[in-house]
């Protein structure tokens, strides 16, 4: 599983949507299920799956697949 696929899996299971709804370009505005509360859950899932500690300041930045991909690469996760 490459990094994108892993992110796709985490978003799909956390937001309870089908993985094919999540592309390399998806952002929170594209998915009704990705609301502000679901976003908090998503942050927790990313932490747990990728063994990270996210700062509150990072929460509003990580609202799209590209942003999450870039962040995880910066953290040496991909």
Partner 1 sequence: MSNRKLDLEKLLALESRDALRQALRQTALPTLPQIQRLIDHAAGLAPAMQELRLGIVHSYTSELLDPWLYLAGALEGLDVKTYHAPYGLNLEEADARSSLVAHSAHITLMLLRREDLHPDLARPVVALSPDEQANLSPQALDRLFVIIKAFRAQRVGHLVVTILPEQRGPALGVYDPQSERSEGAWWSALKAGIGRRLRIGVEASMFVDLDEVLAQIGREAFFDPRLWYSAQFPFAAGAAREVSRRVVGLGAALRFPKAKVIALDADNTLWGGIIGEDGLDGIALGHEYPGNAYMAFQRRLLDFQQRGFILTLCSKNNRADVDQVLNGHPHQVLKPEHFAAIRVNWEPKTDNLVALAEELNLGVDSFIFVDDSDYECALVRRELPEVEVIQTPSRPVEIPYCLDQVSRLELLSLTAEDLKKTEMYAQEGLRRQQRQKAEGTGGLESYLASLEMVMTVGIDDPAPLRRLSQLTQKTNQFNLTTRRYDELHMRRLIGASNWMVGHFSLKDVFGDSGIVGLALFELSESAVAELDTFLMSCRVIGRKAESAFLNVLLKRLVATGVREVLADYLPTPKNGLVTTFLPDHGFAVGPDRRFRRDLITTPPLPDAAYPMAIELTAEPSAVRVVEMVDDIAVISYPI
Q: Which of 12, 22, 27 is nearest to 61 (CA)?
A: 27
Count Cβ neighbours within 10 Å for each residue of 5-24 and write b for 16 or more, e otherwise.
ebbbebbbebbebeeeebee
Q: Which two tokens stand for residue 39?
A: 């976003």
In the complex, minimum distance from the CB of residue 58 to partner 1, in angstroms, rounded to a whole number: 10
| Residues in touch with partner 1 (CB under 8 A) | 9-10, 13-14, 16, 36-37, 40-41, 44-45, 48-49, 54-56, 59
**Cβ closest to partner 1, residue 14 vs residue 26:** 14
Min dist CB 52 to partner 1, Å, is 12
Q: Which is nearer to partner 1, 16 or 76 (CB)?
A: 16
């Amino acid at each position: 599983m490459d990094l994108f696929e892993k992110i796709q899996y985490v978003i799909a299971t956390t937001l309870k949507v089908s993985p094919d709804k999540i592309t390399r370009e998806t952002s929170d505005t594209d998915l009704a299920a990705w609301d502000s509360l679901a976003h908090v859950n998503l942050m927790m899932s990313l932490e747990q799956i990728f063994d990270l500690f996210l700062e509150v300041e990072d929460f509003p930045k990580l609202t799209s697949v590209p942003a999450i991909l870039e962040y995880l690469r910066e953290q040496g996760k991909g």
